[in-house]
Amino acid sequence: MRSVNPKILVWARETAGLTREEAAKKLGVKSARGRSAIERMEDLECAKEKPTWAMISKMSKAYHLPLVVFYLSDIPPPGDCGEDFRALPKKPDRKAQGLIDAAVRDMHARQSILRTSLEDIDEAEPLPFIGSVKAFRSGHRKDIERVADSIRKTLAFDQKRFRSKANAKEGFAYLRERAEEAGIFVILIANLGSWHTALDVELFRGFVIADSVAPLVVINANDSPSAQSFTLVHELAHLWIGSHGISAGAMEGNEGIERFCNEVASEFLVSQPEIDELELTINTPFDEVKEKIDKFATERKISRTMVALRLYRSDSIKVQVYRKLAGEFKRMFLEGKKRERSGERKEGGPSYYVLTKQRLGSNLIDLVDRMMGEESLSVNKAAIVLGVKALKVRRLIRESQARSIS
């Protein structure tokens, strides 16, 4: 068996956000031969002790990395995370940074297999809208409207239908459906396999791989449905300008690409004349502002914080009011999530397969099923693309098809 570069073992552990002590516990490394568990970890990472295949397999799972990475000759170069990732409004700690890195690596691996499989079945047709915007100016109204309108037309998006949905969750489902029909894969991710690896929405809202054949948008499932709609359109704007990127928690964004994508998402979901119709001013009492924004956003299935930000940017409210509103709307969202979890505990939440289908989308599951049928995708590779265990692939497909029929 090919030897493992010890530098990769150190890099893999550190990018997973683990100390040697934490890694030893996750890997089940015990004291032996007069050496403590931490000392044995050090021996592995300094080439004093050769890791077995079983240990590498455990590391692959614990560090959220494909097995093949451990047999590279050197540490792989960092991926393109986009400018927003480099200037997060809330600096991630070591563990959070490791989780985000692991999520990005995992999605790149899944997207790569998906693209290769599409090429194998001669369906690797480049999508014309990827990178179709060659020039844009952040803050320039005509550029923002031009890109937002192009996305609407490509998706055949009906704003009236979006707003007629019963709630923001159904609105997002409709928007996602339109994106998937256009050839864009949209996946929701809440964690890396367990609740203690949950992805913080203050640090990670979405991620996009702007590939012309298999574009992939990843959205944090822990976010509110209205915020997920905003994030999806934000990432679509990334696709239109042909750039990768990670979107963080604050919707204010940064200068340049991120701000432009935010502006496009905001314009796509609600026009400035509609915002002006609220007729709010800096003299309007706070409670009235809050009540009007809540009603306005709920009717349109959009983010209340986004509406507040638009009002601030149009000088209708002061920055202190915007910040207070953002805090209030966050509190309301968290209280709603708490009630939702309480109801699920009483009534029982959705099954594993129902939840997995919701996160992956039926289009991706159906495509994987077809590619397996054409033998361009093995069960093991299908499991990687879907992010499930190989033993669960066929049942997931059956359950998805059964629910689609019913």
pLDDT over 50 (residue 145):
yes
Using an 8 Å Cβ cutoff, are 280 and 311 in contact?
Answer: yes
pLDDT over 70 (residue 85):
no
Does 120 lie in the same domain as 158? yes
Classify 185 as helix, strand or coil.
strand
Does 370 lie in the same domain as 257? no
Does 160 lie in the same domain as 66? no
Question: What's the one-letter identity of residue 142?
Answer: K
Range with lowest mean pLDDT among 98-102, 103-107, 117-121, 370-374: 98-102
Q: What's the pLDDT at 405?
A: 58
pLDDT over 50 (residue 81):
no
Could you tell me the pTM of the whole model?
Answer: 0.80
* Any domain includes 341: no
Does 275 lie in the same domain as 400? no
Does 139 lie in the same domain as 40? no
Does 244 lie in the same domain as 390? no
Q: What's the pLDDT at 358?
A: 93
Which of 305, 335, 365 is a domain's end point? 335
pLDDT over 80 (residue 175):
yes
* Any domain includes 1: no
Range with lowest mean pLDDT among 32-41, 94-103, 105-114, 267-276: 94-103
CATH number for 42: 1.10.260.40
Tell me how far apart the alpha carbons of residues 6 and 51 are, in angstroms, rounded to a whole number. 9
Torsion region of 17: left, alpha or beta (phi above 0 gives left; psi -120 to 50 gives alpha): left
Tell me how far apart the alpha carbons of residues 397 and 238 are, in angstroms, rounded to a whole number. 31
Using an 8 Å Cβ cutoff, are 385 and 113 in contact?
Answer: yes
The listed range with the strongest mean pLDDT (173-182, 242-251, 397-406) is 173-182
Average pLDDT of the residues of the chain = 87
Residue 26: partners with Cβ closer than 8 Å, 6 or more residues away: 18, 62
| Per-position b or e across 268-292, b if 16+ CB within 10 A of its CB | bbbeeeebeebebeeebeeeebbeb
pLDDT over 70 (residue 3):
yes
* Confidence grade of residue 253 (pLDDT, cut at 50, 70, 90): very low
Domain count of the fold of the chain: 4
* Average pLDDT of span 170-187: 96
Q: What's the pLDDT at 80?
A: 41
Using an 8 Å Cβ cutoff, are 242 and 82 in contact?
Answer: no
* Any domain includes 317: yes
pLDDT over 80 (residue 377):
yes
Does 277 lie in the same domain as 141? no
pLDDT over 80 (residue 172):
yes
Q: What's the pLDDT at 406?
A: 52
Which of 77, 111, 132 is a domain's end point? 77
Does 254 lie in the same domain as 146? yes
Does 359 lie in the same domain as 310? no
Range with lowest mean pLDDT among 41-55, 75-89, 120-134, 374-388: 75-89
Tell me how far apart the alpha carbons of residues 271 and 273 are, in angstroms, rounded to a whole number. 6
The listed range with the strongest mean pLDDT (110-119, 179-188, 348-357) is 179-188
Using an 8 Å Cβ cutoff, are 127 and 211 in contact?
Answer: no
* Average pLDDT of span 386-405: 87
Question: What's the one-letter identity of residue 371?
Answer: M
* Any domain includes 34: yes
Q: What's the pLDDT at 246?
A: 64
Does 102 lie in the same domain as 85? yes
Range with lowest mean pLDDT among 91-105, 200-214, 284-298: 91-105
Q: What's the pLDDT at 346?
A: 66
Does 359 lie in the same domain as 274? no
pLDDT over 80 (residue 68):
no
Half-sphere exposure of 285 (CA within 13 A, CB side): 3
Does 245 lie in the same domain as 143? yes
Percent of all residues in the chain with a pLDDT value above 70, rounded to a whole number:
89
* Confidence grade of residue 252 (pLDDT, cut at 50, 70, 90): very low
* Average pLDDT of span 240-260: 69
* Any domain includes 359: yes
* Average pLDDT of span 299-303: 96
* Average pLDDT of span 299-316: 94
pLDDT over 60 (residue 251):
no
* Any domain includes 345: no
β-strand pairing of 185-189 with 206-209: unpaired
pLDDT over 50 (residue 83):
no
* Any domain includes 346: no
* Confidence grade of residue 2 (pLDDT, cut at 50, 70, 90): low
Q: What's the pLDDT at 92?
A: 67
Which of 237, 269, 301 is a domain's end point? 269
pLDDT over 80 (residue 351):
yes
Tell me how far apart the alpha carbons of residues 391 and 40 are, in angstroms, rounded to a whole number. 34
* Any domain includes 24: yes
Q: What's the pLDDT at 223?
A: 93
Give me the domain span that covers residue 252.
80-269
Q: What's the pLDDT at 281?
A: 92
Instruction: Name the strand (E) or helix (H) holding 285.
Output: none
Sign of the dihedral through C-alpha 341, 62, 81, 154: negative
